[in-house]
Structure 1
């Protein structure tokens, strides 16, 4: 374990940098403007590239479900005909593996992107930066992002590519884009925290695109009814939009000299964070500490880590940092209302400020705790809490719960920060 560095007294230049980083984050104005194949909209995307979650790693470092998800992505994209050929392709470099964040993207769990897969395009109209998140596969527990690839997964991914995503993309374009910040704010008042609960946000999004959808029905656009039924049946659909909205908001925070956290993610190897003042450097620690509720028939020893970048929502004051908005989550991920409220209140002790838009009704509409300060994490001993789905070692989702970021990441980040001073 890395020994904890001395936390410096507040410095005027650091405080100024943090205030500016927070201002940029709080002013972010994310709009979803399109859905299109990754190769068409993500800068630098090439046909031989497969993206996955977490800090960048060499192919040989990927193990378990995350490795299987990468192999499944290569097979789906036609980069290999067999599992063995995919493994050889990654090992030789013929198939490239990349980190989502390096391409302005975020991925749920293993976070697999391939060139043909559709992504949401979200722009921050306050600053002009753009971010991406891949399309939701559906509520089937066996999904590519949970380390599964078989004929059923292949068919569902193909259906997303050819039917669901084109319809949603056309509706968004006809609408002229959908503002996500105000939609998320309203969803919080309706019982979501837009990480592990997205029921209200998904319905609100469907309402936003409904006029365009009705016009598409009139114009005989194929697949409209099927797509809208899919959206209506999948409460988690909006998660990918909240992730992309959080990504463009967090990317706006990058300010030299800031100790605020601009990204959190994990891979099969462990958890990692970035600081807004240190650019693209990741600071890695062990896997997160977890507690949760498992689906019937599963046990604790099955839980495994295969990546995850949905904690970008907590990075901007949502998810676990708005947990008191979504007390019904206790039925899904365990715990109690009292514990959820206590966790949420703790997060105010490690953040720079409170959101001016995202508010918690239970706290008399106080703004959500926003922008984690690595200095405060070390000074208080309180680590960020996140709502997540839990993956099983044999693939698929086996439960849900909360995780806490490991302290080691913040120790390493602040050691590097002090050295940079």
Structure 2
């Protein structure tokens, strides 16, 4: 096969993968127990973010989050027995993506935790994401576990999730693509800013919530206030929507389109459509951000994160120009954010027909990260993230850039397709 033939094959594959990504139609249809819904999940498992690793490879906050998950689920009575359980394999560690889920920061899932069920009405694929714990800086997904964290998690399980799930079912599901497109026009980028989307979602289930109130169902008013007061509530829905959207473009032989980006305490990883479910690992991402008062750069640590799934479908850092107020949260300037967003067009395969940027005359967001273009231009994908502290909890926010090594490994693998069947 000539070089031209190979190039034509890749172009055709990328056009197919991108079209499948654009055709995805994510709808949140239910809320349920992770242990009942996630494929391949078992009650003795704790899921976490990033490419799969053995228990002993986890360090720092991500290790602490796994221990906290085991304690919350009752898989161990105390910290020492939790560690012993992980050591001897009676408590197992799993990777969120391997079970159809995406995890924010450490991304902890245990069997009893409620998850949003988002279905792609085009393909029937499902994706899952668990609930936002609340705006307190010390959260399980930020490597913290104590009695306050436990009580908040139980409150999600027993009060918030049942109400939201019932409202979604009574509403017949909530289509997410149009809602997210509208949120972009209202100042969100659907990763670090979800204020408009959270309110729009509340409006979609409001009639059901009112009916439930009239019927005397417990927790409705409290849940409604929780959503209204927590701008990040919708992030978990945008992540699950992004998961099924990106998965729609996966497993297209020869395609160089990126279908997932994630990191762990060890480093950053990507998946590429033409390489199926293979992860390509690299060092930790490069970061630039703004810390909360009282914190310093040396306190920043990595403990996982799969919310960059939003960037793979043209949101987050690829829609920063929609959310210029983020400069007050994560630093930078409006000019820097605009240029950063424009740069992303140089490394993507197309412009999103649904997600558009008003300040760019409603140009579609840059969508479909192309491994080839990343390597040719030297421009690394940018992502909006929260920054975790070495002692647990969130200590700031900012942007990160993926390391080049992941893309080099992916390109090498795609050049030897017989070793990486899609």
TM-score, reference length from structure 2: 0.97
Q: How does 1:396-407 map onto structure 2 within 5 Å? A: 396-407=393-404
Q: How does 1:32-43 map onto structure 2 within 5 Å? A: 32-43=28-39
Q: How does 1:243-258 map onto structure 2 within 5 Å? A: 243-254=239-250, 255-258=252-255
Alignment partner, residue 184 of structure 1: 180
How big is the shift at 1:69? 0.1
How big is the shift at 1:44? 1.8
**Structure 1, 217-226 or 111-120: larger mean CA deviation:** 217-226
Alignment partner, residue 156 of structure 2: 160
Counterpart of 1:237 in 2: which secondary structure? Answer: helix
Within the candidate set 375, 397, 422, 1:378 is matched to 375
| 2:407 maps to 1:410 | yes
Within the candidate set 101, 105, 110, 2:101 is matched to 105
Within the candidate set 46, 58, 69, 1:73 is matched to 69
* Structure 1, gaps ≥5 residues long: 1-6
| 2:40 maps to 1:48 | no
Query: CA separation in 1, counterparts of 2:6 and 2:196?
Result: 40
Alignment partner, residue 364 of structure 2: 367
How big is the shift at 1:8? 9.3
Query: CA separation in 1, counterparts of 2:306 and 2:73?
Result: 22
Alignment partner, residue 137 of structure 2: 141
Alignment partner, residue 115 of structure 1: 111
Counterpart of 2:388 in 1: which secondary structure? Answer: strand
* Structure 2, gaps ≥5 residues long: none
Can you list the C-alpha shifts for 1:208-230, whole angstroms capped at 9, x where unaligned? 00000000001111110111111
Counterpart of 1:33 in 2: which secondary structure? Answer: strand
Alignment partner, residue 260 of structure 1: 257
Counterpart of 1:273 in 2: which secondary structure? Answer: strand
| 2:311 maps to 1:314 | yes
Can you list the C-alpha shifts for 1:264-316, whole angstroms capped at 9, x where unaligned? 00000000000001011000000000000000000000000000000000000
Alignment partner, residue 130 of structure 1: 126
Counterpart of 2:354 in 1: which secondary structure? Answer: strand
Where in structure 1 do 4 or more consecutive aligned residues deviate above 2 Å?
Answer: 7-10
Within the candidate set 225, 232, 236, 1:236 is matched to 232
TM-score, reference length from structure 1: 0.98
Counterpart of 1:258 in 2: which secondary structure? Answer: coil
Counterpart of 1:18 in 2: which secondary structure? Answer: helix
Q: How does 1:220-369 map onto structure 2 within 5 Å? A: 220-254=216-250, 255-369=252-366
CA RMSD, aligned part only? 1.0
Alignment partner, residue 391 of structure 2: 394
How big is the shift at 1:256? 1.2
